[in-house]
Structures are given as C-alpha cells and as structure tokens.
Chain A
Amino acid sequence: MSDFVLETRQLGKVFGSKHALRDFNLQIERGGVHALIGSNGAGKSTLFRILLGFETPSVGSSFLLGESSQALTPACRGKVGYVNDEHTLPRWLTPKQVKAMQQSYYPLWNEEVYRNVIASFDVDPNQKVGSLSRGERAGFNLAMALAQSPELLILDEPTLGLDVVARQEFLDAVLFCTEIDTTVIYCSHQMEEVERLAEQLIIIEKGVLKEHCTPEDFSARVQLWIAPLEFRELIRAKIPNLLSSRAIEGDVHFYVLDPGESFGSRLGLLGIRDAVSQPLGLANAVRAYLAKNHLGAQQALAC
C-alpha cells in the first residue's frame, strides 16, 4: 500500500496556450483534513479532474491510493468519495431510492453513519431529491459519501450556497471523518471553515503549488505590521516579500511573508519608525497571501 493517498509528479495541464497546472508536485499522507486553497482559476478543479481521471495531464502523472489516475480501477473508485458544490444527484429519485442504488455498489456501506448524518440534516427519504433544499441535498450527498466508508474524501467547495446552520451541520459531519480514519481533501474559499477543519494547508496559485504546510506554520509566516501613513511609499519600495498594504485611519497596514525575527529592527534601519506587529489569524493570512497576485483585491486593499 502506498504511503500517500494522493501523489502528483511534475503534473502539468495545458489548455490551448494556458497552463492550468504547472510542474505540480504534491504528496498527501493518510489521515486528517487537507485544505486546498486558491483563487478562482488557480487550477483546483482541474487538479481534481485529473486526480479522478476525468482529464488527461499534458505532462507528469498523478496517483490516487497508489493507482494511476488515468487507470483507476472500480475498486479504487469505490474507496474515493467525491462531493462537489452542485451536489449532483439524480433529482428524479427520492433519497431512499438513491441510497438503495448507492448501497448496492459499496460493500463497506455504513448504515449507521448514513443515518446519523442524514438525521442531522432532517432529510425526508421519500421526497424527490430535486425538491430538497440546497442544505438538505448537501447533507444527503455527504451522508452518502461518508457511508461508503471512503479512504479518501474529496470535497470541492461543498458548502457553497449553504446557510449558516446547514454549513455548521456540514462541517460537523466532515469533522466526523477524522474519527473514522478518512483522509479529507477540502477545497473551499471560506477561510473560517478552513481554519476550523484543516490540519494541512495546500495553496495553489496560477496552477503552481505554492505552499504545503500546517495552518499554524503558515500563519506564523505571514505578519501584519502597522506603521504611520507617511512611510507608505517607502514600505512599498523597500520591503521585500510585501504581500499587500492599505491605508487605514492615518496608518498603513501591510502584510509581509516570512519577515524573520529581526524584521522590526530592519524597519528601523530603513527609517520606518513606530511600526508595530499585530497578531494575524489564518483567514487573514491566507487572504493577504492570495491577494498578492490578485489585481482586483490589491486595488481594493489599496483603497
């Protein structure tokens, strides 16, 4: 058995002249929740499609549970759960019928897990799937994915469009995965969810793997500093690894990647006086990190 549930080697995908993925090397060990983060168009969905064998890589290779993504066996597919943001299900059937069908495919079907999850979303088993609310459908979809007893569960923005309560229920259910030794790859734009769930953070930008570390490590690498507004241009010109800066109430707030322990004294040497560091949560750290290459966000922050 492979040590990694997921592995990519020099993976690349080209659409016409656009590189959706480039030299992508990723290895994910068994267990835990791994959050995949990136801006829109960063290549997350392409990565999932390649991993599940629905897209052929232009270069490199990828493996799921030790099997090449391009030749996944039915048995391997049975060990990988996949939930997307649309919660695709046969809308013309009732949850009862869908469950009966799914159950027949998976020998390790866990009825208890299914019942527990579905009960928390209050899904009527005799109502047509098409008439379920988005939250109910998401819960039902997750219940089905979890009941398969998957070794790997891929969740692609599953809480998109869910209300606060449904989202909470969903996250609780995902947390349950960690108790049943399922490895979860969780893709989301909601940093609060990532902060709550993730044990590992994977950040993609423009098809390139930028970061793969724990949330704590990542948070430690991004710092928020506040200095008087008069130093704004100096900060922009002289600070290395500057992620972004913005003016707020007579001060300039700027985010720096890997500033190092002596960053404060270096600011003094540059003539930037009265600069102070502020604690920064994961959500803000990721936001600042991703905004680096996001022109719209940069402009918004600058304003």
Chain B
Amino acid sequence: MLNLFRVEFLRYRTIALAVAVVHFMALYYLSTLTDSGAMLVTPRPNMWIPVQIILCSLFGLFQMLMHKRGNDWIYLLHRPLSLRQIFAALALAGSALCAVMSLLPALLILIMLDSNSLAGIEAQHYLVLLYAAAIMFTSYFCGCFATLGSSKLSFLAVTVATSYIYLRINERVLLAPLLLSLGTLWLAADAFKPDLTQAPQQLWKLALHELPIQYGLLWFLMTTLVMVSAAHHSLSGSGPFVNPQAGTDFKLMQLPAAELLQHALQGSTDPDAGFLSQQVTLGEAVLIAMPAAPQYALRYQSSAAKNKMRMTAEDGTHWIFSHTNMLYEGRDPNTGDFKGWLGPEGIHADAEPPAARFASPAMASNNQLLTDDHNLYSIDWQQQRVYQRYHSEGEDTFLDVPQLHENMTTVMTTERLLIFSSSDVRQPEGALMPRAVLQLPTQSKGLNRQVVALELIDGYLVAVLDELSQMNIGTDFDRFGHTRLQLYRTRNGVVGQQTTVDAPIPTAVDDFSIYNSFVAAPGMRLLTDLYWGWYLDKNLARTLPVPFFRFPTAVLLLAAVVSVLSAAVTAWLLRTSTLPVRSKRFWIVANAFTGLCGVLSFMFGHHLGKAKAPKLPVTGAVP
C-alpha cells in the first residue's frame, strides 16, 4: 500500500509543487494589498475558500478520471491488494497532494506574516487551516465520487462542497465540516469498486449515494428558478427587492432614516405625534449601523473586527490588538521597532507586558475609544493614559464600538441601545452617563435589525425595524413575515421608554419564493435544513421545521401533489423493470419523499437503464 501511495504521490508531485508555488505567490501578493491574515480568516465568503474547493474538487475528479480511463482501471485494481488498501493509498496520496497545493502555502504565509509582528497573526489563526482542511478534503472526496459514482449524475455531488461558498465560514462550527468530510470519504470509498457502473446493492447504501446527487439537483433547480425569477424581475421592474410593495418589510428597509420615523409616527398612539413629526423634519435622524456577526473573534479575528482592532496614534505608531497578550501592541510602522503595550491602565513602554490586561478583546474606534465586553475606555495619547468611562453590568455585553454622530453617540449591547451625548464622549476622562437606555427585544439568530434614532428636545425617538429577513442563503421557511416596526420614545430624566408603535409588517416576498424548494423536493429540502440548520447554529424550529412551523395549506397541498406525481411517474417507469419488488418499493417511496429531485435522479441516473434491462436469469452461485 505504501508503495502505491508513493507512486501516486510521485505522479503529481511536480504539478502539486507548481500549484503550491503559484498559490504562495498569490497569497504573498495579496498579503501586500490586504489585511495580512484576514484574507484567510474571514467570516464572509471570500476568494480563498472557493478557490480551494474548486481546486481540490477538480483534482479529485481528475485523479480518479486518469485511473478510470481505458485499461488503467484494470492495471490499478488487478493486483494482490484489497480494494480498501488501494483506495486508501490513492486517497492518502490525493489528500497529501491537496495539502501541498492548498494548506502548505497558507501555512507558510501565516508563518511568514507571523514572523512580521506588524501583521498581527495570532496563534489561534492557525485554526483556520483545520477548518480549511475539512472543507478541502470534503471537496476532494466529492471530486472522487463525481468520477467513481455509479450514477450518471454523480458529478452533482460536487455541489455539496461548493455550497460552502455561499455560507459563512466559521471554524467554531468545525464539527460539521469534519463529519461531512468523513461522510464524503465513505461515499468515495464505497463507490470505489472494479465495476463502476454497478449501483450499491444495499438500499441504505443506495440512499446515501443518492443524497449528494439529489442535493445537487435541488441546488441546480433552485439556482435555475432564482435566475429565471431575477431575470423576470429585472425585465419587469417588479419583485420583492427591485420594487417592493408599499408598507412591506423591504420597502421600509429602503426608506431613509427620517422617512422611516415619519412612517412609524403615522401609526403612533403618542399624543405628541404631530409635534414629534415636526422635530423629525427639522432634526438629524441617524441610521445606527448594526454590528456584523460575529462581532469580534473569540478564536480568530474577522476582517470586519480586524479594522476595529488597530489604531494609529498621533505620533504615527501602529497599535494592533494581540489576542495572545490581550493588549494592544505598538510598533513603528517603518522600522517595526517595539513601542510599548496599551492596556486598561495606560501605555507601558517596557517589553514585558503589564499585568493589567483587557478581560476580552478590545475594539477601537476613532483612535480614541476602546470597548471590550463590559467597559468603554478613552485614550489620552498626550498623557499616555487610558480611562475607564463606562461599565456595563451583568451579562449585557457590548456588541460594537461606539458610533459618534454630531450630537449623540450610540453603542449597541446584546440587549440594549445606549445613547450618550457626543460632547461628553469627546472629553478625555470622566464617567459617562447614558442619556437614554433602550431595552430592545431579543433578536432571532440569522435575522437582521434596522435602527434609526433622532434627538428630540426632551429625549430621543428611536424606530426599530426588527426581525428583518434577507434572501442570502437557503431561505429558511421561518425567515419571512416576522418583521415588526417599533417606535420608542425616551424623555430626559425619566428612566425607561415609551413604546407607541409595535406593528407587524408584511413581507414583500411571496409564498412561491419562500416555499418553492419545499414544494419541488419536500424531503430533500427538509434533509438540507437538517444539516445546514445544525451547521448554522439555528434553533430547533428552523432545523426541524415540520413539527414546529405552520406551513400554508396551499403549500402543503402542492407539495403533496408533487410527491404523489413523483411516486406515480416512478411506478410507471418501473412497470417493465426487472428490479426486485423491494427495490421498486424503495424507489417509489424515496421519490415520493424527495419529489422532483428523486424522479430526475432516477430518470437521468443509471437506475432507469437497469430497469429497462432485458429479463435474464439471476447470476449463478459460486461452485
């Protein structure tokens, strides 16, 4: 087996090294343009992971294709080694080559950047390589399965890996990609057999082989539908995003801050609504930017948070937050010379880090304010001092850095919106007292919020568009129709808030857009939710929507019609089949469950060909 591993590795070593060198050079070039390690470590879809997914998928596909062609397959398998040993040798060699092409350059660039302290690479950044490895191996085995799978549609399995492109990359959810990579490894290993056209004999294995194919079909169907729908919306100038109907969630989302407040005031029970409306017209309503999740990295730095973890002092010194020391480390940008540590007790010039450190990663804004989980600090660069200005008690932690506007400064916590006077904040020291503290409703995971605020003569007016949906990924069933518009008013010297509006807002997205995938392939949609729901750390209702979520009757009826039709078409296709009754039942039930995806996979995969084979006696037994 080791010999075969060696032979396989040697086969592609030159090309792997060439790819690795090009990869390293590309990363190095990017590191001179962008924020050091952020190009590898980011919660947003970026270029690096998709490139690795495509590279490893193609390599797996190509590697197995080279063995599959002509007599090479016989040469590979006709040797006194078990199938498992041969596959293990190939898979190990392939994985090692993928690691050389993808992981090694990334590791080298991290080490290289790490050696340059200005780049601010932390030990925990290396964890991203583990996450990348899991996705990379998933892609590689999907590529292998695309070539080895017995179905003609096996290539669709690559969608399993490529769908990661559309999702937030977050190594805190490492278990899912690890399990998925093991699952795809099993798939490729099970498909690896002398007669590649032979479908798995056991039904459970067949079902597992079908899953990634039908998942790919679901994506294919939905992508086609979305593209057709988008083209229609562009041409017609209508649609929930292009031109949402008045009064719907997306329409309100597009309104300027002042108009949103005016809209909210129209339905307000506040007796001063007319007077407040005049103030909105005259005053400066501001849109409070919502913190991007995850706000700051617990185990890595996101690119968004990264910008909030560096400062430039008045003397030009660069201060970058060190997760290792939980302090800001100052260095001369030109020479790289160490300039000191910045902690909660001020700036220390000694090389030895001071004992007083931030309790949690501290984010900076305006080169003047620092916020960790519970404290707001300001920096006095002249005096080399750091002052604690505000402390938040309990489990309520800051989600973001303060946003300084002309008159008011806002900062979001997990539960509240704090509003300070900007003139107070601009003072270097002294305890800060919030002018208003608004208790906001708990936000559902994965949904957005839009907040606008206005300073009144005697307090503040705040409109919140809560539980806003986005059609960015996978469209959860429960994602739409929960939006609420709330209007809060606070008065100077009065604790608490007055809620004068709390109205549900209809969604601009129609039922067809929300439920099309469920109608087309109910079973596949539910299974997909099961995985991605878990992966994205959704709540149980979103992961297992059937028992928790109330589907519209029309949707359920349509889904049932598609299921019945799928089962009927399958039964009709199987009428002349020589497949055992057990297999026939399996296909009818499975295709009823997976709907359109099941029927398409059955028709265009290998199974219909088998069903049509002439009736012949069963293969004889071993003598």
- A→B interface (CB under 8 Å): 2, 7, 9-10, 12, 14, 16-17, 49, 52-61, 63, 66-68, 70-71, 74-75, 77-78, 80, 82, 84, 86, 88-90, 92-93, 97, 100-101, 104-106
Provide the residues of chain B in CB contact with A90, threshold 8 Å.
7, 11
B contact patch SS = loop
Question: Given the complex of chains A and B, what is the CA–CA distance between A84 and B70 in angstroms?
Answer: 10
A sample of 18 inter-chain contacts (CB < 8 A) reads A2-B623, A14-B613, A16-B609, A54-B73, A54-B195, A58-B616, A60-B619, A74-B81, A77-B78, A77-B80, A78-B79, A82-B78, A84-B71, A86-B70, A92-B11, A101-B4, A105-B3, A106-B80
How long is the Cα–Cα vector from A90 to B225 in the complex, in angstroms? Answer: 46
List, in ascending order, chain B residues with CB within 8 A of A84's CB: 71, 74-75
Complex: chain A residue closest to B616, CB-CB = A59
A53 x B194 contact (CB < 8 A): yes
Nearest residue (CB) in B for A45 is B71
Q: How far is the CA of A68 from the CA of B621 in the complex (A)?
A: 8
**Range, interface on chain B:** 20 to 34
Residues of B contacting A7 in the complex (Cβ-Cβ under 8 angstroms): 623
The secondary structure that dominates the A interface is mixed
Q: Which residues of chain A come closer than 8 Å to B81, judged between CB atoms?
A: 74, 105
> Given A86-B70, A88-B75, A92-B10, are A57 and B619 neighbors across the interface (CB < 8 Å)?
yes
Apart from A61-B622, A74-B80, A92-B10: 17 A-B pairs, beta carbons within 8 A: A14-B613, A55-B195, A58-B614, A59-B619, A66-B623, A68-B622, A77-B80, A78-B80, A80-B78, A82-B74, A84-B75, A86-B70, A88-B75, A90-B7, A97-B7, A101-B3, A104-B3
| Distance between Cα atoms of A57 and B197 in the complex (Å) | 12
Contacts of B78 in A (CB 8 A): 52, 77, 80, 82
Q: Which of A54, A68, A86, A105 contacts B77 (CB 8 A)?
A: A54
B73: chain A residues at CB < 8 Å are 54
**With an 8 A cutoff between CB atoms, is B511 at the interface?**
no
Taking the closest CB of chain B, its distance from the CB of A223, in whole angstroms, is 38
- Contact (A59, B617) CB under 8 Å given A77-B80, A90-B7: yes
Q: State the total of A-B contacts with C-beta under 8 angstroms.
A: 91
Map CB proximity to A onto B77-94 as digits: 1 under 8 Å, 0 otherwise.
111111000000000000
Q: Does A88 lie within 8 Å of B71, measured CB to CB?
A: yes
Interface residues of B (CB under 8 A from A): 3-4, 6-7, 10-11, 70-75, 77-82, 194-195, 197-198, 609, 613-614, 616-623
Residue among B6, B11, B622 with max Cβ neighbours from chain A (10 Å): B622
CA distance A59 to B617 in the complex (A): 6
Q: How far is the CA of A52 from the CA of B619 in the complex (A)?
A: 16
**Contacts of A53 on B, CB cut-off 8 Å?**
194-195
Rounded to whole angstroms, the CA-CA distance of A276 and B195 in the bound complex is 53
**Residue numbers in A under 8 Å from B71 (CB-CB):** 84, 86, 88
Q: Which residues of B contact A74 (CB under 8 A)?
A: 79-82
